[in-house]
Amino acid sequence: MGSVGLCIRRCVIPSRLNDWVPRALLRLWWRLRERSSEVATGDTFGSPAYKYGKVGGSLRVVSETTETPYVCCGYCSAHMASLTAKNGLSDLMHQEAHAIRSAGGRSHNNGNNATELRNGAKQALGVTLSAIAVDEVPDRLRAGYACTVALQYDALPDYLKVQNGDFGHAVCLYKWREDEEYVGFYDPLWPQDADGAWARWSDVRRAMWGDGNHSTTVKLIASASLWNEAIWNSSVWA
């Protein structure tokens, strides 16, 4: 036991598995641990508090509340992310979001997982979403990309909630503010065309599920840096 303990103390152990495991193996591991979102329970009560202000800009919420039950959070989140990566898309759930669901292979009103969102966005809209770890989200947002993330609704802070239930949920994150580390938060449970809300990254991170249940866009509309895209695409084989 003494020699084993000495070895452990002297060996340099990577701080994160993601730092040294090949991306293809990470993706396989993430896929085995992937979870599915669920039906949102209870009625919603309007817009969020906007405690830290509105994000602004052209992206607005694509709401899942235009039909019941509220179960299209993932597809609406992937739809919102796609709006940041491709021109010419509508902001209507029954068009792009439902097309993502259908192409992803799951029946209507039945939740989703991250792989289905990625497959559906690619097949229905031609938009690539790539699996990411939780700790990769800030850098993707800093670079101008959007992320779809899965989380536990009850673990969110009250200023982001618009109902009292607890369920697996999906939202879109877009934009980043370095002061206090704020993320732009877009929740499909909010009203159609609602503005995004600034939220503390620490508050959002606390509610998120494990690595691989989240995705990022790999393309940016027009103003994007082609160099950033090339670096990301080459590193993850998107």
For position 34, what pLDDT does the model report? 74
* Nearest Cα residue to 43 out of 69, 22, 17, 20: 69
For position 221, what pLDDT does the model report? 82
For position 107, what pLDDT does the model report? 75
For position 16, what pLDDT does the model report? 52
> What pTM was computed for the model?
0.82
Q: State how far the Cα of 101 lies from the Cα of 20, in Å rounded to an integer.
A: 34
* Beta pairing partners, 36: 113
Per the listing, tokens 């503010």 go with 177
Amino acid at 183: V
Q: Give the residues of the chain that fall short of pLDDT 50.
A: 1-15, 223-227, 229-232, 234-238
For position 22, what pLDDT does the model report? 74
Q: State how far the Cα of 203 lies from the Cα of 210, in Å rounded to an integer.
A: 15
> Per-residue pLDDT tens for 62-94?
999 988 888 899 999 999 999 999 999 999 999
Domains of the chain: 37-236 (3.90.70.10)
Per the listing, tokens 């909010």 go with 190
Q: State how far the Cα of 112 lies from the Cα of 52, in Å rounded to an integer.
A: 30
3-state secondary structure the chain: CHHHHHHHHHCCCCCCHHHCCCHHHHHHHHHHCCCECCCCCCCCCCCCCCCCCECCCCCCCCCCCCCCCCCCHHHHHHHHHHHCCCCCCCCCHHHHHHHHHHHHCCCCCCCCEHHHHHHHHHHHHCCCEEEECHHHHHHHHHCCCEEEEEEEHHHCCHHHCCCCCCCEEEEEEEEEECCCCEEEEECCCCCCCCCCEEEEHHHHHHHECCCCCEEEECCCCCCCCHHHHHHHHHHHCC
Question: Exposed e or buried b for every residue in 75-86, given b needs 16+ CB within 10 A?
Answer: bbbbbbbbbbbb
